[in-house]
Structure 1
Amino acid sequence: MTQTNTFRTASLAILAPLATVLIWSGNAIVTKAAAGVVAPSAIAFYRWALALIVLAPFVAPAAWSNRAAAKAVWGKLFIGGLLGMVIYQCLAYVAAETTTAINMGVILALMPLFSTLLASIFAGERLTTARIVGGVISIGGLVYLTSQGDPMNLVRGGLHIGDALMLVAVLANAFYGVLLKRWGLTLPVWELLFWQIVAATIVLVPVWLLGPIEPIDAAGVPLILYAAIPASLLAPLFWMVGIAKLGAARTALTINLLPVVVALLAWAILGERLHAYHYIGGGVALLGVVVGLREWKIGRPRDDTPNAAAWATEEV
């Protein structure tokens, strides 16, 4: 019986973060599929408003009872919602109009490395040689990927606007995670998520009103539902389970699978073609992530890695 329980626990520890990566990969496909179907301002607003409605019955009573603690850090909660949910997701939806889901997946996979580099700058984390070398390698891979195998394309035509927006989006989300780590907010995780969604929804109301307000058709409904429930609510839950069982550092390593899953889904669902520069550029970018985070693989599971406190609420 003990062996059975141990097996179940080990399986849950592995499957929980893998489920999160699968959901986040699906969200990259949804983000791309929403381009031309639902306006970026509309899907961003509907997504978080619906997530708030679904989450409220379970979390709102406790969050309201503990509102004094939330009020004391309201400015930080507002900034978190602005960076991690408004700026990040709105830019991702706009980027999807001019880049591929495959490129988005590779750029998203760089978030852990970006987080560690930003933590070195803003949170006093030690900037190791591995992180510097890893960052340089990843940038090289990104240049090769976004230039479609010819870096001179960037000189002739500049950085692809969709890829540039996606980079800014990922940097905003990584910075959000670093701030959460630096601030050390003591609110329970679900209350932290709840109040940030409240802030994001409030900010997105005028964005939605200023954008094209059109009826949501049958093609847009499942996209909004996926973004609101699996991507916004279930993924954080699975991620927290993974952290509890494996530790934040080892759980974060599963992000490396994201571009692979996104590429397969983009090929199967969206019909995107894989080219040699995807394999080469994406592979080099991921190699940089592995090099930059290599110390995470050593020793017991830890929860003191850069951005560890933010993994539960950071959303890809």
Structure 2
Amino acid sequence: MNEQKGNTGPLPEGTDEDPPVVGDREGQDQEEGYWLKNRNELNRDGVPYSEWDDSRMLVPSSLELGPGAVDKYVISKQIVRMQEPRRLTTDDMDERRIVYPESANRALVNRFRDLRTKLLELSGGNNFTIVVSATERGAGASFVSLNLAAAFAFDQSKTAVVIDCNLREPSLHATLDIMPETGLTDFLDDSDYDIARILYPTGIPRLRLIPAGSRRETPSEFFTSFRMKQFLQAVRRRYPDRFIVLDTAPVTESPDARILSELCDYAMLVLPHGRVTPTTVEQAATAFNPQKFVGTVING
């Protein structure tokens, strides 16, 4: 992996919810996360839903928080309390090729641990936002995005969020058996939308998903919006314990990855093994700011 200097910044803490079942609600909003409606109930481990409502720790609707808004000690205590309304089994993880510390596929686990370590060295130990894109469809950008986020969540003092920014062909929700009714585009489209409605537990400890949301014909307009910039800035600076991974459409087919990389700290390119020419790689890599481009990952 080729490493170059990039801009880094601290990040935020995340959310715990029930499976992403969204129900009807009377009043101003018609939809609300299932867990939001059941705060006083217990999950199967006997933990009140309110114990894993950490969305309020992330980004409030105003998105107006300055650096150091939350004490690190409070954050670490909240991370320890984070609960999963459901857990993916080891068989589930193996079937989906998701890394976890006890996995028998040590080679795969170690590759993502090594990638995580190199990125942490590059950032000087600071948390960061990173865009993951590919040279073509099927290259494995979503696979790398999810597993990189999962590797960051290995650390019990850290959390991670993976955001599905491939609005044309979102896939992370399907991989994680999540059926969201709302997501990123819904949040960006409505200034009063609550972040809690788009953060979903993945079944993986300390890892959350923001799904793509309603399909839109012009995704680039969402990513160039001030609200997207404001959202990512707030997410980056509020907490020092969260890593944000953005899964995007292939950089050769869409400007989305390039646009988002300007809002993030780093950009990474995924190459399909044996299916791409040096010229294609060079063209794809030059789409990113060289100060933010951290290198390539060969998948296959």
Structure with more of its chain in strand, by fraction: 2
TM superposition score normalised by structure 1 = 0.25
**Highest Rg: 1 or 2?**
1
Relative contact order, CA 8 A, sep 6+: which one is greater?
1
TM superposition score normalised by structure 2 = 0.26
